[in-house]
Amino acid sequence: MNRSLQISGSPDSSEVGSEVTVTLPLFLSLICVFGLAGNLLLILILLYELRKGRCSVVNCLLVSVGATDLLLLLFCIPVRIVTYAQQSWLFGGFVCKTTEWFLHSCLAVKSFTLAAIAQARLRHVLTPPKLLGFSRRHVGLVLISSWTVSLLLPLPHLLFTQLRMAKGGWTCSFDTPDYASSFMNVFSKIYPLLAYVLPMTFSFCCYLRALRRKERRNRVPGPRTLSRRVTSMLMSVSLAFDAMWLPEWIVWIWSRHSSYGLLQPPSALMILAQVVLFLNCTINPAVFLAVSDEFREGLKNIWTTCRQCDVSSPSREENGSSTIQSLHDLHSTSSHRASQDSRSKEEKILPDVEHFWQDRRNTSTGEENDPMPWEHQEKP
């Protein structure tokens, strides 16, 4: 049994209209631009907080989530934009074999990283602040293990994807060979469970437990009361990702369980699933900006720093001329003061010398003052 699934992102040419070739690429381009700006700003603010000494596992993992969204926006959306606009595959065999595999790898690592964030938030709620420490080794192990598993899970997309020649041109299709049909039947059931269901369930349980623990502590006010808003914000980010990834999973499972390709999901559903999936890459910065006070404060600090740099850096020529003028004025002032000091010293010294010589002139040279009187005595 050979199943062929077109993954190039373009529906059948008979169903194509201007809304697909013009409006959809334009909308995806806007998503790409706003997503790049928002995630770059998010990463910049988080790195600014880390540099100020606010190191935590959650902040480091959020940087990884933002970087994953940047990878999706840079390497996955442009391929869809060009393919929707041209209605043909133009990127060659290597990009055809790797684009879907890379897309699923980034989505899987984002799912695992959000689950790790939920676990870190629960640990932060349950552990007293004095005993809670930051370990770079722990963060590194989480990221390395997440990326390793995520790159290995969607390997069938790398192995069974190839170029095909269709009526309208080249298309990039997922073709399951006959010898791998049994494997794909098992894979199509296990892969969604590992990449989507288990991380989503784990994250939801961690946040639910953290919120319940938070309610108990809120009943007794004290210095250890944690922010409920942070937990709700992180939970909303995780739930938004799971909800916006769900249409893509519906299309994926539907396509691989259809019989001989006779019953494929509608093109409108496929397009909607991809648009909603990429739209999620712009959600996280908007959520942090709307909910997090620290995020807004970090944004204000960066903006203030940039403005101060612009104000405190006038043209070098003006700085040089003002510096030279200041040195000239300082030199003139010091010379004037030195001349005044020398004049005052001369005025003070000359009267003393004049008085000394005047005393010498007025002194009589009598015998009583003669130092050698025997020379002036008369001989007998």
Any domain includes 318: no
Give the residue ranges of DSSP H helices in the chain: 18, 24-51, 57-75, 77-86, 92-126, 136-152, 155-159, 181-192, 198-218, 228-256, 267-279, 283-291, 293-311, 316-362
Domain presence at residue 358: no
Mean pLDDT, consecutive 10-residue segments, the chain of 380 residues?
A: 50 60 92 94 87 81 94 94 89 91 96 95 79 78 95 93 82 86 90 96 94 61 57 93 95 77 78 93 88 76 74 52 53 57 52 49 49 49
Full domain range(s) for residue 237: 3-302
Residue 204 lies in a domain: yes
Give domain status of residue 238, yes or no. Answer: yes
Cα angle value 98/264/188 (rounded, 5°):
55
Q: What is the pLDDT of residue 225?
A: 46
Give the pLDDT confidence score for residue 371 in this predicted structure.
Answer: 53
Q: Looking at the domain assignment, is residue 345 inside a domain? A: no
> Which residues are CB-contacts of 253 (< 8 A; sequence separation ≥ 6)?
188, 192
Q: How many domains does the chain have?
A: 1
Tokens (6 digits) for 327: 């040195």
Query: Is 319 a member of any domain?
Result: no
DSSP per-residue letters across 167-190: SSSEEEEEEE-GGGHHHHHHHHHH
Q: What CATH number does the domain containing 16 carry?
A: 1.20.1070.10
| 217 within some domain | yes
267 found inside a domain = yes
